Structure 1
Amino acid sequence: MLGYKVPEPDEAMLVSGGKGANGAPFRVVTGHGAFVVPFFRKARFLSLSMAESEVTEACVTRQGISLNVRAVIAFKVGNDTESIVNAGQRFLSDQNQMAVLVGRIFAGHLRSIVGSMTVEEIVTERQRLAEGILDGSKEEMAKIGLTVDSFQIQSIDDMKLGYITAMAAPHNAAIQRQAQIAQSQADMASAEAQQQSARAQAQYVRETTIVQAQLAAEVSAAKAKADQDAAEAEQTAARAKAEFQRQTNVVQAQYDSEVLIAKAKAAQLAAAAEQESQRAQTEFNRHTAVVRAKAKAEVDRAESEASQSGPLAQATAQREVLAAQTELATRNGDLRQQQLVAEVVKPAEAEAERVRILAQADAEKTRILAEAAASNNRVSLDQLLIEQLPQIVREAAQGLSRANVTVLNGSEGLGELATGLVGQGMTIFDTIRRGLTTGPPPAPPADGHKQLD
């Protein structure tokens, strides 16, 4: 808009052509815009940003020693209206003059404060020097509308007089002396540590050699003991194998004997049944022949009487013939029944008895085989474990001989180690044997018959 002006965030707009607040010759506008009447009002801008001034000044201390002091001042126009009015009246036409004037002001105060201090105080108490300069220049800076943000003394130089160097010499000497003492102590400690390390290494080598020699001797003893244990285990295995073979032979002989007895009984019963059948058949044949002969004789006699007698006699004879034939048929039925008993029932009973005896024999065989199998499994497992026990002991001894082991308690520790290995193998052996010994009993025969004693 024509005549409306807005200052930058780091600027103050000074509107002249009228009175400002509090009797100021112009109006100050910051942070917002304002309408400036053309031809009647005029607006100009004053920077509120930070500026820097560098001061390098030759100063004389209270001791009369010349020092070249270099300092940097960071300053700006104050934010309040009074400061802006003061600064605008002095620097609006040439704002670069602010840095020059500030440098001259601080140079004068720097010479004044340095002249009241010694070199030692200036070098060791720079903060005190800076605070003195700031306090001395504060009133003058406020009059011209400026504030100091920072004042830093960058360097202090005695212009090659050597005073500052000489002042630091005692401290340098003390520091170097302490450094030499510390270095000597460190060298001494390092030498002692090296000697201690050499002694410890020699002691370690000696103890290692002794332990290795003891270990080799103990390994040899353990290997010999393992070989002896292996030989004893092989003997035990041979004895167990012989005992197993003996028990197997005894069980097989008992089984064969019982089978032969059962077969003999069955054959004897079959022969007796056959003889009974043949005897019954012979008796039947004989009885049949006698009955047939008697019947024929009576029939012949009746026919003869009938031929000699009359019709009544013939009828009587025929009745007697029929009676004789009926009796003959009855006797034939009885003989047939006896024949069936002799030919079918007796052989069937004999066969049933034979089957029963064979079933009992098979059941006894099954029981004996089950007992033999259980005994065989126990003895076989005993034999297998005993045969493997020497190999286990040998492998443990060989592994121990190749192992990089440090035995703390000497031969006693190695003996305990070998004894522990053999003891663990025997513990496993006894555990498996007890498991087989307390196994489930053999199942009863499938046919339900009582086993033979």
Structure 2
Amino acid sequence: MFGYRVPAPDEAMLISGGRFGSSAPFRVVTGHGAFIMPVFRKVRFLTLAMCEAEVAEKCVTKQGITLNVRAVIAFKVGNDNESIVSAAQRFLSDQNQMSILTGRIFAGHLRSIIGSMTVEDIIRERQKLATEVLDGSKEEMAKIGLAVDALQIQSIDDGSLGYIQALSAPFNAAVQQQAQIAQAQANQAAAEAEQESQRKQAEFVRQTAIVQAHYKAEVDRAQAEAAQAGPLAQAQAQREVLQMKTELAQRAAELRQQELVAEVVKPAEAEAERIRILTEADAAKMKIQAEAAASHNRVALDKMLIDQLPEIVKQAAQGLKGANLTVLNGTDGLGQMATGLVGQGLAIFESLRSGLDGHRSSEQAAELDDPKALQAP
């Protein structure tokens, strides 16, 4: 074994066979290589990797109860040269002895510390137990060049004594009770949730049925209306035709009534009014004749006739006042009617005058025939 040698990252290279400045019996090389002189130098390697030791020990507590304790220790050779030299001098020839010796050291400290504690303290404060074991073994481990990284208490039991189980019985019963209560509450909540879900489903089904029935009713109504639309439209058309025929009949009756009024009633009323006017004129004529005969004065008679002419026309117009006459030519028709009234008045005047003249001639003839009348002054 000669030449340039380089240790692995988790190894320490130990070179022996020469004199070194320090008190160490060999040279320690880590992290880099070194040249090895053949024949005069010898090289060995010490692991710096993590190692593991298991402990399974029966320990007696302060109460005299035997406990089976299992623990795991994680350790390694220290990184400083002093620790490497100490570990190499003890374990270089058989490096597996590091785990065996470490387990024995920790087993002794476990027995010592557990002997000062009760079962209750050990169970409740495992971390305290591990810390005290580490603190108690740290100095011894440093002397042999080892450093402990971790100690883990894996299990603690009392075998078949049942002490630990008895300690846990009240807590177990309480936990079981709480578990049963929680389970019952969970079952109740689940049942309530299931019932609520069923109620909601039933309500949803009911609402769906109501909506479907409503939609079906609307569809049926629309179909019925569509089926009746034709007959209804036909009946409506017939009703409108009958209504129009009725209106036409009413209009025809009104028109016929107006025609009858214009053709029969109005002429009859006009004829009756004409007869009445002529009758009144005759009466006035006789009155005037009587008055003229009494006065035997033609001038007075003519003057009287002239004075009575407006009254005659007025009476003729008054007679037409209540008559329901239809004027067809508007303003011209009214003018023609007024002209007719005046003409009738003049005709009456001429008739009276002619009558008076005839009456006077008769009287004169009678006087000529009667000598007594001629002798009268």
Q: TM-score, normalised by structure 1?
A: 0.47
- CA distance change for structure 1 residues 4 and 168 in 2, over 3 Å: closer, same or farther? same
Residue 139 of structure 1 corresponds to which residue in structure 2? 139
Using CA pairs under 8 Å that are at least 6 residues apart, name the structure with larger relative contact order, 1 or 2: 1
Counterpart Cα distance in 1 of 2:196 and 2:35: 91
Cα displacement (A) at 1:15: 2.0
Q: Is 1:221 matched up with 2:221?
A: yes
- Between 11-20 and 193-202, the greater mean CA deviation after superposition: 193-202
Q: One-letter code of the match for 2:94? A: D
Output the amino acid matched with 2:48. L
> Match of 1:45?
45
Equivalent runs, 1:142-157 vs 2, <5 Å: 142-157=142-157
- Structure 1: runs of 5 or more not aligned: 239-453
Distance 2:142 2:183 in 1: 57
Deviation at 1:200, TM superposition (A): 5.2
- 3-state SS of paired residue (1:23): coil
Is 1:186 the counterpart of 2:186 in the alignment? Answer: yes
Q: Deviations over 1:351-401 (max 9, x none)?
A: xxxxxxxxxxxxxxxxxxxxxxxxxxxxxxxxxxxxxxxxxxxxxxxxxxx
Q: Which residue of 2 aligns with 1:115?
A: 115
In structure 2, the residue matched to 1:431 is: none
Taking the aligned partners of 2:34 and 2:83, their CA distance within structure 1 comes to 20
Q: Distance in 1 between matches of 2:175 and 2:11?
A: 54
Contact 1:19–1:27 (Cα < 8 Å) also in 2 = no
Looking at structure 2, the residues matched to 25 and 108 of structure 1 have their Cα atoms a distance apart, in angstroms, of 32
CA shift, 1:211, in A, is: 5.6
Mapped partners of 2:5, 2:164: distance in 1: 57
CA distance in 2, matches of 1:17, 1:227: 123
Determine the C-alpha separation between the residues in 2 that align with 1:92 and 1:198. Answer: 77
Judging changes above 3 Å, is the alpha-carbon distance between structure 1 residues 78 and 20 closer, same or farther for their aligned structure 2 residues?
A: farther
With over 3 angstroms needed to count, the CA separation of the structure-2 counterparts of 1:176 and 1:31, relative to structure 1, is same
Tell me, in whole angstroms, the C-alpha distance in 2 between the residues paired with 1:8 and 1:180: 59
User: Relative to 1, partners in 2 of residues 1:21 and 1:83: Cα closer, same or farther, differing over 3 Å?
Assistant: farther
Aligned residue type for 1:85: V
**Does residue 28 in structure 1 map to residue 28 in structure 2?**
yes
8 Å Cα contact 2:58/2:69 also seen in 1: yes
Is the counterpart of residue 171 in structure 1 residue 171 in structure 2? yes
Letter in 1 for 2:82: E
Displacement of 1:57 in angstroms is 0.8
What CA RMSD, in Å, does the superposition of the two structures yield over aligned residues? Answer: 3.1
Q: Which amino acid aligns with 1:33?
A: G
Q: Kindly provide the amino acid, as one letter, of the partner of residue 68 in structure 1.
A: N
How is 1:315-394 mapped onto 2 (pairs within 5 angstroms)? none
The structure whose Rg is larger is 2
Query: Equivalent residue for 1:71?
Result: 71
**Which residue in the other structure is 1:289 paired with?**
none
Q: How does 1:56-95 map to 2 (within 5 A)?
A: 56-95=56-95
* Residue of structure 2 in register with 1:394 after alignment: none
Separation in 2, partners of 1:57, 1:224:
97
In structure 2, give the amino acid aligned to 1:143.
Answer: K
Cα 1:226/1:158, change in 2 over 3 Å: same
Distance 1:212 1:16 in 2: 101
Q: Deviations over 1:398-442 (max 9, x none)?
A: xxxxxxxxxxxxxxxxxxxxxxxxxxxxxxxxxxxxxxxxxxxxx
In the alignment, what sits opposite 2:246?
A: none
**Structure-2 residue corresponding to 1:102:** 102
Flag the 1:194–1:33 CA change in 2: closer, same or farther, 3 A: closer
CA distance in 1, matches of 2:205, 2:216: 16
For 1:50 and 1:206, the matched residues in 2 are separated by 73
Query: Structure 1: how far apart are the matches of 2:9 and 2:205?
Result: 82
Task: Render the CA deviation track for 1:248-288: whole Å, top value 9, x for unaligned.
Answer: xxxxxxxxxxxxxxxxxxxxxxxxxxxxxxxxxxxxxxxxx
- The 5 Å alignment of 1:226-265 reads 226-231=226-231
Distance in 2 between residues matched to 1:35 and 1:209, nearest whole Å? 97
Q: Which stretch shifts more, 226-235 or 83-92?
A: 226-235
User: Which residue type is aligned with residue 62 of structure 1?
Assistant: K
TM-score normalised by the chain length of structure 2: 0.55
**In structure 2, C-alpha distance between the alignment counterparts of 1:142 and 1:213, rounded to whole Å:** 91
Could you tell me how far apart the structure 1 residues matched to 2:186 and 2:89 are? Answer: 70
Amino acid at match of 1:48: L
Question: Which residue type is aligned with residue 98 of structure 2?
Answer: M
Name the amino acid aligned to 1:226: A
Letter in 2 for 1:86: S
Q: Is the 8 A contact 1:21 1:27 kept in 2?
A: no
The alpha-carbon distance between structure 1 residues 61 and 217, as it changes in their structure 2 partners (threshold 3 A), is same
